[in-house]
Structure 1
Amino acid sequence: MTTQFYERLSNDLTQLLENPIDYNVTIEVGEEPDKKIYKVHSYILQSRNSYFQKKFNEISFNENHIKVFKMSNISIKIFNIIIKYIYGGIILLEKLENSVIFDLLITSNELNLDELVEHLQTHFVNNNASWLRLNFSQVYRTSCQVKNFNIIKDFCNNIISKYPNTIFESEDFQTLPEDTLISIIKRDDLQLEESKIWQYVIQWGKAQNPTLPSNLDEWTNNNFLTLKTTLKQCLSHIRYFSISGKDFFEMIFPYQQILEPKLWLDINSKFLVPDKPISSTVLPPRKVLNVTLPTRTTLTSNIITDEHTLEISSWIDRRESNYTENNPYEFKLLVRGSRDGFDVKTIYEICDKVSNTVIVLKVKDIGEILGGYIPCELDKNNTRWIYSQDSFAFSLKTTNLINSILSRVNNFDYAFANYPQHSLLHFGNTLCLRNNLKTDKKCCCLQNWYSYDKPIRSEELIDNVLSDKSGFNVEEYEVFEVSKKK
């Protein structure tokens, strides 16, 4: 029987990093004036990582028998995590923002830390899929550029297969790398009509050749040859024999010159004499689902995800379990701080006489997402407490909060403070918004959560970061009108 003492080994090596006896390499991280110098051991880094093995072999010892290595393009925060992982095999992600973890993933790949790259991708897909969806464009573009991001790329491709417009209608579509486009149109489960796929492929091909005439009637043989050459690797993945005669005539016929003569003849033969054998490869029809996929919401938020709206909708309907798809409510954006201004009076002005609103805000520096639901109308001309049996405040699940916190009103007469003249907007004392949310640091969540059944900030956060009356600034806030879908 083999006994393994990995924890003790990890602790001892971590101590060696903190007390670098007999170090023979210094690594300068960051740029002046904030750079930091790490004293490390070449034999540890070389045995753990091929990147450092190669780099250290390229550097000679100085007169003090030390190799000096500079890494100015890596942040100190990221390198702290990586060097502790290399020495001790330990990494703690719970208190890191997702954006930092994503930067860590990119840097880990650059340093050939394959084990860590796989772990971080799995962590995102299993634990923070909502962040990947919220930042889909950035995530997918990066996964396409980096060959080792296969786990995240597969995650993104599965979304694209179900919701093709996510990528085909995005601003980034025309700049997709060719191999990425091919990986999408090769999928048997791509939920899109074949004629639409053809149109998108043509659109992409034209975008790669901006000098082609916009009017097809003006195209020369050379123009068609240019497009054919550009799309050479893509055209073989179109399921031509699954396209209707009408769509074929309207969409493919004008571009017949970019198809191989034999394929063109076989397609026409299939329409005229369906039973006649052909020599061209006939790809199987795509596996388009017979059921309608749940529509992805057209939520345009800088703060919350579709999963967050499903949770909020469940609270509105007082469900014991959350909606997982087919959100019965539509979230219509009314106000955004970065667009409309951060003064609380702005909310009253824009949302005057509007009921059933949800306010969400992202706390600066901490990454918390706080908010509340107001079923009654806001009123910019009156200062008063508003009665409500259904309002609630909340803190949404993020990297730093395992589960969302819901706090329902229990003193109905004092559910909501409608105080436009004083630039105040309060859910009892459980969430208080005041003055300029971005600059004045007057917002707070008191432990004396008057009118609501519980505080919405986690005890750990209050104990470790905040005092009971600690004010905070808001990085961004949004107000949505919530209504039943027709």
Structure 2
Amino acid sequence: METQLHDRLSNDLTQLLKSGVNYDISIEVGEDGANIYKVHSIILQSRSPYFKNKFDEISFNENHVKVLKLPNISVKVFDVIIKYIYSGKVLLEKLENSFIFDLLVASNELELDELVEHLQSNFVNSNASWSSLNFAQIYRTSYQDKNLKIIRVCNNIITKYPNAIFESKNFYFLPEDALVSILKQDDLQLEESRIWEYVIEWGKAKNPTLPNSLDKWTSDNFSSLKKTLNLCLQHIRYFNIPGEDVVKKIYPYQQLLENQLFLDIASKIMAPNVPISSLVLPLRKLTVTDIITNEHALEISSWIDKQEKTYTENNPYEFKLLVKGSRDGFDVETIYNICDAVSNTVIVLKVEDTGEILGGFNPLEWNKDNNLWKNTDDSFVFSLKIANLKKSILSRAFKDNTWAIDNCPRDSSLSFGKALCLKGNLKTEKKGFCAVCGGYSKRIRSDEFITPVNFLSGVSPEFLFSVEEYVVFKILPKVR
């Protein structure tokens, strides 16, 4: 039976590193050689092909020592790497996630395959939250080095958390081929009209001399932007963009598109069944609804569980679709009829004109027969993060809130206190509003859209809204 005695070997080699006895390599690490490591070529060459190739290229100096400079690796990172090379040990528990990522990048550069595999596994299993928050940095680095397998982690993050890249301050620095690879993904969890807007903004950032006002653009300006976006525009799913968004968002930039493509887009809106000649790309697979994404669902689930940190994966709940306006009708009465005696529901709606995504969670049952004010501490209203709102707003019901839920089927009305009020036909009648309300902790709309508390004279028209679409989900624990 073979006996394994690695610890003693590891300790002895670590002492050799510390002493520097009989070293023949001097490695200058960091800018301006911030730190010098006296190491042994035989050990480094046996551990890494990178060092073997480098040492073969370098001649000995007058002191019979070869000098290697690594200015792009920090001293702290290399200190961990060189100790690993000599001892075979690395301790990650007390290291910051950003440091572990830097360590991964440096280890990949130095061709330390065993360490790279270990660090990649650590990211996949333990750092999903940090990875999503710092996605732009990770994606740019990993995409530049196709051998860095953490790219598969990035692709997983893209589909679940598209805002992590599109709303990052580093988004505009993404190389074209990286952006194209994102646009190609069929399961990108983002509305196509928003993808179009992000691509346009990326192209403008690449052309900083373009006039700020579109009214002042010349044909040459459009030609410059079209040239910049040539490859990106080929992967927009134009025929999945609602007609209203085509008018608002694509029409002003029609010069970026080929004439036939723009004619076919318009044709599909006016006569959906008439054949067209342009290539129609498949619809993206939005896995929750066309209003909210997986990222939104995770956020709502964390609020239901009263978690301080937002869930980033493994949603504990299933969002079962009960009602959808475009499918079942927009009358509030429809919600009561379908959701009668159903508890733990989330209503989510997209506001006409502003594009805001508002909603509320009701842990209690809806009742279609009686007008009732319902008391609960567990309900909440919210406004979800979108392009124009960088952070979601959560507003919880205050404790002992007797008027948390206004269940009023006879008035065709449904309200969360007065923080979010829905009435009549949500699409054709402009009767929805949010008011200053003591029953919930925060306002979920900006002040310009919040009506004062006094309703005796009715809500002023400027505070009222209708919706483009709405959905109601039953929240169910997932079966493990």
Paired AA for residue 37 in structure 2: I
**Structure 1 partner of 2:77:** 78
1:23 CA displacement: 4.0
Contact 2:137–2:170 at 8 Å: present in 1 too?
Answer: no
Q: How far, CA to CA, are the matches of 1:313 and 1:62 in structure 2? A: 56
**Structure 1 partner of 2:156:** 158
User: TM-score if structure 2 supplies the norm length?
Assistant: 0.55
1:56 CA displacement: 1.3
Contact 1:30–1:72 at 8 Å: present in 2 too?
Answer: yes
Contact 2:23–2:38 at 8 Å: present in 1 too?
Answer: no
**Structure 2 partner of 1:295:** 296
**Structure 2 partner of 1:38:** 38
Once superposed, what is the RMSD of the aligned Cα atoms?
4.4
Q: How far, CA to CA, are the matches of 1:170 and 1:133 in structure 2? A: 10
Q: Which residues of structure 2 form unaligned runs of 5+? A: 319-343, 345-439, 445-480
Other structure's SS at 1:27 match: strand
Cα-to-partner distance string for 1:439-462 (whole Å, 9 max, x where unaligned): xxxxxxxxxxxxxxxxxxxxxxxx
Matches within 5 A, 1:202-281: 202-281=200-279
Paired AA for residue 200 in structure 1: Y
CA pair 181-10 structure 1, distance change in 2 beyond 3 A: farther
Other structure's SS at 2:234 match: helix
Contact 1:313–1:323 at 8 Å: present in 2 too?
Answer: no
The aligned length equals: 320
**Structure 2 partner of 1:191:** 189
Paired AA for residue 180 in structure 2: I
Paired AA for residue 85 in structure 1: Y
Contact 1:30–1:75 at 8 Å: present in 2 too?
Answer: yes
Q: How far, CA to CA, are the matches of 1:190 and 1:31 in structure 2? A: 40
Q: How far, CA to CA, are the matches of 1:262 and 1:17 in structure 2? A: 69
Q: How far, CA to CA, are the matches of 1:162 and 1:223 in structure 2? A: 35
Contact 1:10–1:89 at 8 Å: present in 2 too?
Answer: no
Contact 1:205–1:231 at 8 Å: present in 2 too?
Answer: yes
Other structure's SS at 2:51 match: helix
CA pair 177-189 structure 1, distance change in 2 beyond 3 A: same
Moved more, 7-16 or 119-128: 7-16
| Percent identity (aligned) | 57
1:59 CA displacement: 1.6
**Structure 2 partner of 1:89:** 88
Q: How far, CA to CA, are the matches of 1:122 and 1:223 in structure 2? A: 47
Q: How far, CA to CA, are the matches of 2:124 and 2:442 in structure 1? A: 31
Other structure's SS at 1:38 match: strand
Contact 1:30–1:36 at 8 Å: present in 2 too?
Answer: no
Matches within 5 A, 1:74-473: 74-136=73-135, 138-151=137-150, 153-291=151-289, 292=292, 293=294, 295=296
Contact 1:311–1:323 at 8 Å: present in 2 too?
Answer: no
CA pair 104-273 structure 1, distance change in 2 beyond 3 A: same
CA pair 313-67 structure 1, distance change in 2 beyond 3 A: closer
Q: How far, CA to CA, are the matches of 1:23 and 1:313 in structure 2? A: 49
Moved more, 67-76 or 246-255: 67-76
Paired AA for residue 295 in structure 1: H
Matches within 5 A, 1:469-480: none
1:228 CA displacement: 0.8
Other structure's SS at 2:283 match: coil
Cα-to-partner distance string for 1:390-423 (whole Å, 9 max, x where unaligned): xxxxxxxxxxxxxxxxxxxxxxxxxxxxxxxxxx
User: TM-score if structure 1 supplies the norm length?
Assistant: 0.55
CA pair 279-122 structure 1, distance change in 2 beyond 3 A: same
Q: How far, CA to CA, are the matches of 1:124 and 1:312 in structure 2? A: 22
Cα-to-partner distance string for 1:105-163 (whole Å, 9 max, x where unaligned): 23223323344233212212212333334545544554455544442x44344334334
Cα-to-partner distance string for 1:41-87 (whole Å, 9 max, x where unaligned): x2332243232223212221234433233445544442232123334
Q: How far, CA to CA, are the matches of 2:69 and 2:295 in structure 1? A: 51
Contact 2:197–2:249 at 8 Å: present in 1 too?
Answer: yes
CA pair 7-279 structure 1, distance change in 2 beyond 3 A: farther
Contact 1:310–1:324 at 8 Å: present in 2 too?
Answer: no
Other structure's SS at 1:295 match: helix
1:188 CA displacement: 1.4
CA pair 324-197 structure 1, distance change in 2 beyond 3 A: same
1:239 CA displacement: 0.7
CA pair 172-298 structure 1, distance change in 2 beyond 3 A: farther
CA pair 280-114 structure 1, distance change in 2 beyond 3 A: farther
